[in-house]
């Protein structure tokens, strides 16, 4: 990476950019939980943003973590992310980071293909999900240290239907046996869907985890003033926190290899 973003800058300090923002999710909850996990390592210094437009911060980062919904970088920011990854950066992208949502006059949600570079970097574009209900997550690469020792588990969460931009090294997946709900491309949701994967970019990589939906009473505004439940989904599972901690360790420097 460029000198300003080299691992080990300032002793063993690690500079992290956390982008947490967007629609229809309890971003306050996710942001706080991620900050608590990042604070477990005193070397990590975090700058928090609501979008990708602080390009100097991206270029200077040792690691990037995102929890967003319908937050799309400008083309300039996408190009900065591309170059940062190629130079060795690692990015942990969570849940709805790959979503672009447009509510049509028909009442259905569309996922327009308006940011192809962004989706290529992430390795997927979100298209739809069935109703939130229990499903089983399977381990597809048990030898990889990110999932070593993890057994198949059940979670109640959004099971994402993704348009894949590969190649992807899939570590966890799940089988979707029903269509999405309220989305234009809902009927194509059935089949095996990646849940946790790596996409390599030059010397760097993106680690993507689709789990982690959360929503509070006020998070559907302006579509609805009040959501009747507080949803925490996979956040309530110890295995999810294991995946978060391992992923945060994996995206820190030093970067021996992008396939780790």
Q: To 10 degrees, the CA torsion angle through 203, 66, 94, 178? A: -120
How much is the pTM?
Answer: 0.94
User: Under DSSP, is residue 244 helix (H, G, I), strand (E, B) or coil?
Assistant: helix
H or E element that contains 68: strand 63-69
CA 173 to chain centre: 15
Give me the pLDDT at residue 188, please: 87
CA 66 – CA 51 distance, rounded (Å): 10
Which CATH number among 3.40.50.300, 3.20.20.70, 3.40.50.880, 3.40.50.450 corresponds to the domain 3-250? 3.40.50.880
Among 18, 72, 22, which residue's Cα sits nearest to residue 215? Answer: 22
Please count the other Cβ atoms lying within 10 Å of the Cβ belonging to residue 222.
6
141-174 tens-digit pLDDT: 999 999 999 999 999 999 999 999 999 999 999 9
- In 3D space, the residue among 13, 67, 92, 84 whose CA is nearest the CA of residue 260 turns out to be 92
Residue 259 has pLDDT above 50, yes or no: no
pLDDT in tens, 58-106: 999 999 999 999 999 999 999 999 999 999 999 999 999 999 999 999 9
What share of the chain in percent tops pLDDT 70? Answer: 93
Mean pLDDT taken over the chain:
94
CA distance 100 to 116: 11
Task: Residue 175: count other Cβ atoms within 10 Å of its Cβ.
Answer: 13
C-alpha distances in angstroms, 152 versus 137, 142, 149, 155?
6, 10, 10, 10
Can you spell out the DSSP letters for 84-139? HHHTT-EEEEEGGGG---EE-TTS-EE-----HHHHHHHTEEEEE---SEEEEEEE
């Amino acid at each position: 990476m460029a000198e300003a973003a080299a691992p080990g800058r300032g002793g063993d300090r690690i500079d992290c950019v956390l982008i947490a923002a967007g629609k229809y999710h309890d971003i306050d909850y996710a942001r706080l939980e991620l900050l608590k996990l990042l604070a477990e390592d005193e070397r990590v210094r975090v700058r928090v943003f609501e979008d990708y437009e602080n390009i100097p911060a991206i270029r200077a980062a040792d690691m990037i973590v995102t929890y967003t919904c319908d937050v799309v970088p400008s083309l300039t920011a996408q190009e900065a992310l591309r170059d940062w990854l190629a130079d060795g950066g690692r990015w942990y992208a969570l849940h709805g980071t790959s979503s672009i949502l447009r509510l049509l006059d028909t009442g259905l949600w569309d996922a327009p293909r308006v940011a192809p570079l962004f989706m290529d970097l992430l390795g997927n574009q979100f298209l739809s999900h069935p109703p939130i209900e229990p499903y089983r997550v399977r381990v597809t690469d048990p030898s990889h240290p990110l999932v070593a020792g993890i057994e198949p588990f059940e979670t109640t969460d959004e099971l994402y239907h993704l348009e894949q931009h590969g190649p992807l090294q899939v570590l966890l997946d799940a089988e979707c046996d029903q269509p999405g709900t309220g989305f234009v491309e809902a009927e194509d949701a059935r089949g095996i869907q990646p849940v946790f994967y790596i996409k390599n970019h030059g010397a760097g990589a993106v680690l993507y985890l689709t789990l982690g939906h959360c929503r509070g009473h006020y998070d559907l505004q302006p579509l609805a003033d009040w959501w009747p439940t507080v949803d925490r989904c996979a956040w309530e599972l110890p295995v999810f926190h294991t995946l978060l901690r391992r992923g945060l360790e994996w995206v820190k420097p030093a970067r021996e290899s992008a396939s780790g």
